[in-house]
C-alpha cells in the first residue's frame, strides 16, 4: 500500500473510473408490509435538540416515537445561545441519555456526534472523558501503532457511551494547510491521499469492531477550500484536485460499509449550478455511478450558511434528495434561531414534494432501504 508504484496504479484506476460511468443498481424492498411513506421519510432525518435529559414530554422524544426519525445528533455546545452544556455534561449523564433515546425508538436509533479528536471533540476532558489528539498530530507522527491506540480508545469510549454513529474520520486531503475549517485546525491526516487513507482506515476498522458506524467526510473534498461552508458560499473550483477523491476510492476498494457525508462546497467543473450536497452530477454521477458507492449518503448539516443563505428549505431538501442524499442532518445548532419543530416541518416538506410528484415514492423507498440495510448490518446481525 505504501509503495509508490502501487499508489500510481491506484491513481490510474481513479482516472479510468472518472472516464467511464459504471452502472449501479438498487435493491428492491423485500418487506411484505412496508412502512408508511411518513415512516420512511422519518428514517431519513437526523435531528439535533437541546437538553442533557429527555422525558416523554419532550418534542425529540415524540419525534423518535411518533415521527420515526432515523437518528439524533449530539453536541456539547449550544451555538444559538452561546452556552454549554447542550447534550453532554458527563459520562454518566450521556450514558443514561443514550439509553433512554434508544428505549424511545421502535427501531435502532442512530445516535451520532462529531468525535474527530483535537479541536472537533464533543467528549471533552473537562467533562470527564479521555483526552484526544488531532488527525494532523497522528498524520505527522505517522506511526500506525500510535494511530491504532487512539482509534481503539475513541471506539471504546463511544461504545461505552451508547454512541453508534461517528461523523468521522475526516478523509479530506490537506491540499490547503490554511483552509480555515480543515487544515488550519488540524482536521486532516495528511497532504498525501494515501496517508489519509491509511490512518483513517485504522479508525473505521476500530469503530466497526465496536459496532459503530463511521461517516467519512466531506465528499468530494473540503481540504482545498479557502473558506468555511459553515459561514457561507464556498467555491473550490480553482483549488480542488482530483486526488481528493482517492481516499474514498481506497476505502471503497477495502470493504468500507459506513456512510459518506457530503460537503456544501461548490465546484463549477463538477456542477455549474449547485454545491455538492445538492448536486446530482456530483453525488449520483461521481460518488454512486463512477466510484460505485451504494451505501448511505448523509448530508452535512442542512442548517449551515452555505445552504440556508442561498436556498429555501423546500428547495434545498428537494435538490439534496434528488441528488442522492439518503439522510438529512438538521442540527438545530447553527447561529440561526433554534427550531424544536424542525423534524415535523421537514417531514411535511418531503411529504408535499412527494404529493406534488417532485420526488417519487420510489426514491424515498430507496433511501429507506439503504438506511434499513445499514441498521440491520450493524445492530441486528452485528458488524461485519
Question: What are the φ/ψ torsions at residue 190 (nearest 5 degrees)?
Answer: -170, 165
119 assigned to some structural domain: yes
Task: Answer for the pair 276, 283: CB distance below 8 angstroms, yes or no.
Answer: yes
- pLDDT tens for residues 220-254? 999 999 876 676 678 999 999 999 999 999 999 99
- Residues 225 and 62: their CA atoms lie apart, in Å, by 39
Specify if 20 maps to a domain.
Answer: no
Instruction: Determine, yes or no, domain membership for 216.
Output: yes
Cα distances (angstroms) measured from residue 156 to each of 67, 131, 149, 317: 31, 13, 11, 35
Rounded-to-integer distance, Cα 263 and Cα 256, Å: 19
Contact 110, 162 (CB under 8 A): no
Strand pairing report for 110-113 and 115-117:
unpaired
Average pLDDT score over residue span 42-69: 97
Please give the Cα distance from 190 to 169 (Å, whole number). Answer: 13
Is residue 176's pLDDT more than 60? Answer: yes
Tally the residues of the chain.
Answer: 384
b/e per residue 140-149 (b: at least 16 CB within 10 A):
eeeeeeebbe
1 occurs within a structural domain: no
Q: What is the CATH number of the domain that holds 171?
A: 3.20.20.300
The cell numbers describing 281, all together, are 452530477
Would you say residue 264 lies in a domain? yes
Residue at 371 is within a domain: yes
Mean pLDDT of 57-83: 97
Band (pLDDT 50/70/90 cuts) for residue 28 is: very low
Domain of 361 in residue numbering reads as 44-380
C-alpha span between 97 and 51 (Å, rounded): 10
Name the phi and psi angles at 229, rounded to 5.
-70, -10
SS (H, E, C) 292-339: CCCCEEECCCCCCHHHHCCCCHHHHHHHHHHHCCCEEEECCCCCCCCC
Q: How far is CA 59 from the centre of its chain?
A: 24
The x, y and z cell numbers of residue 337, run together, are 434561531
**Cα(109)–Cα(40) distance, integer angstroms:** 14
Between 345 and 226, the more confident residue is: 345
The predicted structure's pLDDT at residue 230: 72
Q: Has residue 98 been placed in a domain?
A: yes
- The arithmetic mean of pLDDT across residues 93-118, rounded, is 97
Res 233: pLDDT: 74
The pLDDT, as a whole number, for residue 33 is: 73
pTM (2 d.p.): 0.92
Number of domains composing the chain: 1
pLDDT of residue 41 exceeding 80, the answer is yes
Band (pLDDT 50/70/90 cuts) for residue 1 is very low
Question: Is 60 exceeded by the pLDDT of residue 94?
Answer: yes
Q: Is residue 303 part of a domain?
A: yes
Mean of pLDDT over the chain: 92
pLDDT tens by residue, 247-295: 999 999 999 999 999 999 999 999 999 999 999 999 999 999 999 999 9
Residue 27 has a pLDDT of 36
Peptide bond into 361 cis (omega under 30): no
Alpha-carbon distance of 234 to 232, in angstroms, equals 6
Mean pLDDT of 189-218: 98
Helix and strand totals (H; E) in the chain? 13, 10
Amino acid at each position: 500500500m505504501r509503495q509508490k508504484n502501487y499508489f500510481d496504479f491506484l491513481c490510474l484506476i481513479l482516472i479510468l473510473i472518472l472516464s467511464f460511468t459504471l452502472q449501479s443498481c438498487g435493491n428492491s424492498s423485500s418487506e411484505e408490509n412496508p412502512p408508511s411513506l411518513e415512516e420512511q421519510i422519518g428514517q431519513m432525518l437526523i435531528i439535533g435538540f437541546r437538553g442533557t435529559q429527555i422525558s416523554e414530554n419532550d418534542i425529540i422524544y415524540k419525534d423518535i416515537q411518533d415521527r420515526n426519525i432515523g437518528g439524533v445528533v449530539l453536541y456539547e455546545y449550544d451555538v444559538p445561545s452561546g452556552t454549554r452544556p447542550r447534550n453532554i455534561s458527563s459520562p454518566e449523564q450521556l450514558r443514561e441519555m443514550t439509553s433512554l433515546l434508544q428505549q424511545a425508538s421502535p427501531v435502532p436509533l442512530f445516535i451520532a456526534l462529531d468525535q474527530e479528536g483535537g479541536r472537533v471533540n464533543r467528549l471533552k476532558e473537562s467533562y470527564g472523558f479521555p483526552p484526544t489528539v488531532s488527525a494532523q498530530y497522528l498524520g505527522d507522527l505517522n506511526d500506525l501503532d500510535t494511530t491504532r491506540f487512539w482509534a481503539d480508545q475513541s471506539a471504546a469510549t463511544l461504545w461505552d457511551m451508547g454512541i453508534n454513529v461517528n461523523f468521522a474520520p475526516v478523509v479530506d486531503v490537506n491540499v490547503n494547510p490554511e483552509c480555515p475549517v480543515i487544515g488550519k485546525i488540524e482536521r486532516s491526516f495528511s497532504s498525501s491521499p494515501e496517508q489519509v487513507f491509511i490512518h483513517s482506515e485504522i479508525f473505521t476498522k476500530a469503530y466497526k469492531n465496536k459496532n459503530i458506524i463511521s461517516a467519512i467526510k466531506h465528499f468530494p473534498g473540503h481540504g482545498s477550500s479557502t473558506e468555511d461552508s459553515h459561514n457561507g458560499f464556498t467555491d473550490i473550483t480553482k483549488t480542488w484536485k482530483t486526488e481528493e477523491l482517492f481516499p474514498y476510492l481506497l476505502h471503497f476498494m477495502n470493504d468500507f460499509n459506513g456512510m459518506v457525508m457530503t460537503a456544501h462546497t461548490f465546484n463549477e467543473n463538477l456542477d455549474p449550478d449547485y454545491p455538492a450536497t445538492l448536486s446530482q452530477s456530483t453525488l449520483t454521477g461521481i460518488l454512486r455511478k463512477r466510484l460505485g458507492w451504494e451505501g448511505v449518503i448523509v448530508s452535512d448539516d442542512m442548517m449551515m450558511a452555505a445552504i440556508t443563505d442561498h436556498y429555501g428549505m423546500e428547495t434545498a431538501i428537494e435538490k439534496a434528495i434528488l441528488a442522492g442524499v439518503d439522510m438529512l442532518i438538521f442540527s438545530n445548532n447553527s447561529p440561526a434561531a433554534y427550531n424544536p419543530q424542525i423534524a415535523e416541518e421537514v417531514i411535511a416538506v418531503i411529504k408535499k414534494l412527494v404529493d406534488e410528484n417532485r420526488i417519487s415514492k420510489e426514491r424515498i423507498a430507496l433511501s429507506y432501504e439503504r438506511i434499513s440495510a445499514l441498521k440491520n448490518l450493524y445492530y441486528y446481525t452485528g458488524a461485519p
